Amino acid sequence: MLIDTHTHLYLPDFDEDRTDIMDRCEKTGVKRVYLPAIDSRTHESMLKMELEFPEMVYSMMGLHPCSVKENFEEELAICEKYLGDRKFVAIGEIGIDLFWDKTFVEEQKIALIRQCNWARDLDIPVVIHSRESMDLIIQILKKERIQGLTGIFHCFTGSTEQAMEAIKLGFNLGIGGVLTYKNTKLGEHLIPVPMEHLVLETDSPYLTPVPFRGKRNESSYIRLVAEKLAQVKDIDIHDVERITTENALRIFKN
Ligand SMILES: [Zn+2]
């Protein structure tokens, strides 16, 4: 059994064949997928997908750092309303993105801290997007000292040192398609990192693993990431499946 801890299967990219994709998940042993929210343009389609596949799909709620703009307070208020209405498995995805656009970096920080505090109040984990910002986020989390906060640094591509720092803070690392890329040192960096802190993800439709790189990603491809991780860690694929599944269930408490 495998779990995709981070996949945007509710996006329009999958409107034509979502049912086929979920069938392929079933067939390849991907029994659960977790959907990170982006912003108010897609919250409803995410929740609709969760209703369509209630046994397999779990939604998070939050404001993506790339969607933090002038109107971020309104967007946060919308998230808060959803969070008041029902239970979610995590606050996500939240964080800071310094790759695309730095205009709203201060607002991104405010939104990150606010949403981390929601997670603490609700006693649920956070799923963090940290593109080009891992050290900054670690620094913020240390400074804020948000009691009992836990979660996942999604799409982890950092160094061994950064991985260990995140783990020390109570976090786990989401490993995706990047691990299969030819030019990456990620595999090497993960060798000393304990398996107990690793979970698998696709980030579909992005970051497609080899040999499908360049095409649309989907959750059944997570098996390619699991195979690569088994190779990197020199352990059996069944151990990768078992341990990453246990980790995901522990983190999301469900
Ligand atoms: Zn994502």
Which pLDDT tens digit goes with each residue over 46-95? 999 999 999 999 999 999 999 999 999 999 999 999 999 999 999 999 99
Q: How far is the CA of 239 from the centre of ligand 1 (A)?
A: 26
Contacting residues for 23 by C-beta, under 8 A, at least 6 apart: none
Q: How far is the CA of 1 from the centre of ligand 1 (A)?
A: 22
Residue 29 has pLDDT above 90, yes or no: yes
Q: How far is the CA of 79 from the centre of ligand 1 (A)?
A: 17
Condensed to tens digits (0 to 9), the pLDDT of residues 136-184 reads: 999 999 999 998 999 999 999 999 999 999 999 999 999 999 999 999 9
When pLDDT is cut at 50, 70 and 90, the band that residue 254 belongs to is: confident
Using DSSP bridges, classify how beta strands 171-175 and 198-200 pair: parallel, antiparallel or unpaired.
parallel
Q: Are the beta carbons of 104 and 68 closer than 8 angstroms?
A: yes
pLDDT at position 14 is 98
Tokens of 190: 């993960």
When pLDDT is cut at 50, 70 and 90, the band that residue 196 belongs to is: very high
Q: How far is the CA of 203 from the centre of ligand 1 (A)?
A: 5
Q: What's the average model confidence in pLDDT over 201-230?
A: 98
Q: How far is the CA of 144 from the centre of ligand 1 (A)?
A: 24
Q: How far is the CA of 215 from the centre of ligand 1 (A)?
A: 17
Q: How far is the CA of 36 from the centre of ligand 1 (A)?
A: 6
Q: What is the separation of C-alpha 226 from the centre of its chain, rounded to a whole number of angstroms?
A: 16
Contacting residues for 227 by C-beta, under 8 A, at least 6 apart: 237
Gap between the Cα atoms of 86 and 78, Å rounded = 13
Q: How far is the CA of 39 from the centre of ligand 1 (A)?
A: 11
